[in-house]
Amino acid sequence: MDKRSAGYGENAKAGIVTLLQKFFSWKWSSVVLLGICLNFVINLFLDFKYQRPPVSFSVEEYVNAIIGAAFLLEGSRVISGLLDTRLPWSTGVKRRLLLQSVSQLLYIIFALNILLIGVTYILYDGEFASPDLLLINICTVTSVFFFANVDTAMELYRHSKHQRVTSEPLIISEKTIAVTLGATTYVIKPGDVCYAHHQGGSVIIKTTEGRNLVYDQSLTVLMNLLPSSDFFRINRQYIIHRGIIRKYKSADYGKIEVVVGNSNNETLTLIISRTKASAFRKWLAAD
């Protein structure tokens, strides 16, 4: 019973946390913050201009301001969403940024004035004086456009992050391997490797040029540097490149006998264990 109660308690906490995360997400909190700031700043300017005492707190004013902020900011986000399908960031950042900024700015100006005129004439049966209308336009357009640009900055960050992720395979393919020959250290690429094997407590890499180079780490570490599409670890002692396989055949007890050779016509017969035979055939068939 205690465990069940504890489980209910944990679920309730998780639900509350999820609800709070949704409520305080930028998408919604930005609308509320924008509405509150606009109502406060505009009233502050008008109080100063007309030398009137500060307007008392009005829930109705703040609610109307938040609704107006939602109308303007969400409209800007709709424009961004439409451009995502017709002119994605991948087609050109500068062009997209220019078109999005101009479109959002024009929308904010026209929507604000239509909203102001509609609310003023229909609900309050009056109109703003031209200086007041200009003041409201400057404050509102600047604030909404700033919040829209914060959204744009987030979009650009996600785009650049996506670009980095999609380019990672290209970086991985350029991995290099540090090896030694005598007192000299060389750097070779995976494509230079024919096969690698344990010999006398060291890992020896046989290159396409026929050189034997010493690798100072394990075969497991080396395998992580080699593309799995081209290299296969046939047993504890050997890693081979598919390009050096001359022939193979089934051996006793489900094993596979493989004959490999390099450019110097040196051949080597290796045995693949029964446990790795199936994986070897799949790897070879994937070529």
Residue 62 lies in a domain: yes
Residue 82: which of 94, 70, 74, 93 has the closest Cα?
A: 74
What average pLDDT does range 223-248 have in this prediction? 90
| Confidence (pLDDT) at 201 | 83
| Confidence (pLDDT) at 169 | 45
CA distance 144 to 30: 10
Same-domain check for residues 70 and 165: yes
Q: State both tokens at 186.
A: 């060389």
Q: Which residues contact 270 (CB under 8 A, 6 or more apart)?
A: 234, 235, 238, 240, 257, 258, 259, 260
Same-domain check for residues 49 and 83: yes
| Confidence (pLDDT) at 173 | 47
CA distance 245 to 231: 11
172, 192, 209: which is the final residue of a domain? 172
Summarised one tens digit per residue, pLDDT across range 15-24 is 565 555 555 6
Q: How confident is the model at residue 200 (pLDDT cuts 50, 70, 90)?
A: confident
Neighbours of 143 (CB within 10 A): 21
Give backbone dihedrals phi and psi of 177, rounded to 5 degrees, phi first: -125, 125
CA distance 284 to 230: 9
172, 197, 231: which is the final residue of a domain? 172
Residue 238 lies in a domain: yes
Enclosing domain of residue 49:
21-172
Same-domain check for residues 217 and 261: yes
Same-domain check for residues 27 and 125: yes
Predicted TM-score (pTM) of the model is 0.49
The answer to whether residue 182 scores a pLDDT higher than 90 is no
Same-domain check for residues 29 and 159: yes
137, 172, 207: which is the final residue of a domain? 172
Residue 43 lies in a domain: yes
Same-domain check for residues 185 and 145: no
Same-domain check for residues 103 and 229: no
Residue 16 lies in a domain: no
Asked if 12 and 4 touch (Cβ cutoff 8 Å), the reply is no
